[in-house]
Structure 1
Amino acid sequence: MSDYTVKIQPEKVEAINALKADFEGVDNFIFTDYRGLTVEQITELRSKLRETGASYKVVKNRFAKIALEELEKPEVGDMLVGPTAVVISGEEAGAAAKELFAFAKDAPVEIKGGIIGGDVFDNKEMEAYSKLPSKTELIAKLMGTMNAPVQNLVYILNAVPEKFVRTLKAYADSKED
């Protein structure tokens, strides 16, 4: 048996390392097929995603697969088939998913699926995820729910002295007559 070694060209190693740097420390990825998008549409999508704290990067499938494997991310299967671009989102992937699906209504971009928090989602699951309220909205709703009983208690506690003062005033007015 002969020794078989694979030599990877330095520029390919650099490209994989650049992808690893982009993917490192991130748990949220959305994979898309960008076929049919014009340069202007891709630029517009990148701009909209940047507002949500995400980035949009066209990737070479093999390099992306190697980078994800080396970073011990879940296997994405056939999401890395055909022309692929990746939405790389930080902590709040919901906003990026909403923006992407809203953009997909008017443009020929196909969402293949994604990785959210280490879990693999297919297209339909990603669409359902995009319809969920964001973390900030959920916290606001929770705070509103927690605040309502306190507001009611304050109202009731203020109403008792006010009613007592009105009663005393009415009594004083009746004694003056």
Structure 2
Amino acid sequence: MDRAQKADLVTELKGVFDKTGLVVVSHYSGLTVAEMTALRVQMHGVGAQFRVTKNRLTKLALEGTKCESISHLFTGPTAIAYSDDPVAAAKVSIEFAKKNEKLIVLGGVMGETELDANGVKALASLPSLDELRAKILGVLNAPATKVAGVLQAPAGQLARVFAAYGNSEAA
């Protein structure tokens, strides 16, 4: 990697650290190519990214960003998972780490808040942004459905009364 490529990588990582909602740092030592590919596919499926990083360049990219507090995590074979959704990257990282002990979640940062490994696990237990949106829509739709049912009930009762009255006169 030449100097220009390194500068581009630092700039790109600085943008990632400035714009994303969550960054999860982990060690990946011992993962096979197939396992790394499977992890990347899972991350991509929820709108997150997983990337192996160069520690020295990552520390340079962290300087002056809101994520600067996690620079001490970048020792050894590190990778970052990041997403705009504050839960997606954490959820996939923790689920994958449960199935494969070679991926070790070290910590991360959400906004300006540094998280340790337990903080990332707690974050992963929360519902994702899409799940929360679905729950809110369900709550909003429930009253409308109930109102429509209540409004239709008297009309149905009136129709039955008129039908019964009509049947009694015909007889």
TM above 0.5: yes
1:87 aligns with one of 81, 101, 107: 81
- Whether the 8 Å contact between 1:26 and 1:88 is mirrored in structure 2 is yes
Corresponding position of 1:97:
90
Q: CA deviation at 1:53?
A: 2.0
Corresponding position of 1:169:
163
Residue identity opposite 1:16 in structure 2 = V
Matched, 1:119 2:113: yes
Which of 77-86 and 152-161 deviates more? Answer: 77-86
Residue identity opposite 1:10 in structure 2 = R
Residue identity opposite 1:119 in structure 2 = T
1:140 aligns with one of 134, 138, 142: 134
Which of 35-44 and 74-83 deviates more? Answer: 74-83
**Who wins on radius of gyration, i.e. which is larger?**
1
Deviation string, structure 1 residues 113-144 (Cα, Å, up to 9, x no partner): 11123321111111111111111111111111
Instruction: For 1:119 and 1:14, locate their aligned partners in 2 and report how far apart those are by CA, in whole Å.
Output: 27
1:47 aligns with one of 23, 41, 48: 41
Segments of structure 2 that go 5 or more residues without pairing to the other structure are: none
Corresponding position of 2:70:
76
Deviation string, structure 1 residues 63-97 (Cα, Å, up to 9, x no partner): 212211133434115322322111122x2142222
Instruction: For 1:27 and 1:158, locate their aligned partners in 2 and report how far apart those are by CA, in whole Å.
Output: 46
Please give the secondary structure, in 2, of the residue aligned with 1:169. Answer: helix
Please give the secondary structure, in 1, of the residue aligned with 2:126. Answer: coil
Q: CA deviation at 1:38?
A: 1.7
Which of 48-57 and 144-153 deviates more? Answer: 48-57
Instruction: For 2:90 and 2:143, locate their aligned partners in 1 and report how far apart those are by CA, in whole Å.
Output: 34
1:16 aligns with one of 10, 33, 49: 10
Segments of structure 1 that go 5 or more residues without pairing to the other structure are: 1-8
Which of 144-153 and 9-18 deviates more? Answer: 9-18
When the two chains are superposed, the root-mean-square deviation of aligned CA atoms in Å is 2.1
Residue identity opposite 2:32 in structure 1 = T
Q: CA deviation at 1:159?
A: 0.8
Which of 132-141 and 68-77 deviates more? Answer: 68-77
- Whether the 8 Å contact between 1:28 and 1:118 is mirrored in structure 2 is no
